[in-house]
Copies of this chain bind each other. A is one copy, B any other.
Amino acid sequence: MTNERGTLFVVSAPSGSGKGTILSEVFKNSKNVFYSVSATTRKPRPGEVDKVDYFFIDKDKFSNLVESNGMLEYATYCENLYGTPRHEVEKKLNEGFDVILEIETNGAMQVREKMPDATLIFILPPSIKELRRRLKKRGTENDDVINKRVAEAEAEIRQAYSYDYILMNNELSDAINDFTAVLRAAKLENKKTKILIDEVLNDA
């Protein structure tokens, strides 16, 4: 009866926002959500599996995809290219799955341009102070690295103004419930559902 195409969700959050924990809980509880796998030109690390961790492809193939509009977004990081292949995302959406892209803010803006129906979600830490505390608690990095991460986080957070939904990960269980509610409610927004009005009126 209704258009069963899935919804594309783009999720961004600075390091230390708890995004990974939230997403893994959401995936545990959602049957109909597909997590998009990125493509990269970097070499696989030990243990990494092609098509699971990344699509490992060479630079020529990556460039061809970019030129043929086959990448929803891409970026260079440490001289390697990373991107989201459009084909896999479109396929899953057409099969009725919701698709989640976990990408940075620049990539998110590229996706919005190519897929205006995408719903953009930003996860905020409670404060920069708390973000710094969480990064320190990991204990794996020195102060310089932490200062750099905090500065990067601030730059990302400044992009949050243009996201559709903004969540704060203060209490993890609340943030998980918030995220789950957004996944459900975004599909009921006027721009996605007004097509139903005609269907109802026509089935008289």
Contact = CB atoms under 8 A, between A and B. Distances in A.
A2 B166 CA distance: 13
Contacts of A204: 127-129, 132, 154
Interface string A173-193: 000011011101110111001
Contact of A199 (B127, B189, B194): B127
A155 to B, nearest CB: 10
A200 interface: yes
A60 to B, nearest CB: 40
A194 B128 contact: no
Contacts of A185: 165, 178, 181-182, 184-186
Among A1, A186, A199, A201, which residue has the most Cβ atoms of chain B within 10 A?
A201
Contact of A157 (B160, B166, B201): B201
B158 A197 contact: yes
Contact of A200 (B127, B163, B180): B127
A3 B128 CA distance: 19
Number of copies: 2
Nearest to A185: B185
B200 A128 contact: yes
Contacts of A117: none
Interface of A: 1-2, 124-130, 132, 154, 157-158, 160-168, 177-178, 180-182, 184-186, 188-190, 193-194, 196-197, 199-201, 203-204
29 contacts: A1-B126, A2-B168, A124-B196, A124-B197, A126-B200, A127-B200, A127-B204, A128-B200, A128-B203, A128-B204, A130-B203, A157-B200, A157-B201, A158-B201, A160-B194, A160-B197, A164-B189, A165-B188, A165-B190, A166-B193, A166-B197, A167-B188, A167-B193, A168-B196, A168-B200, A177-B184, A178-B184, A181-B184, A181-B188
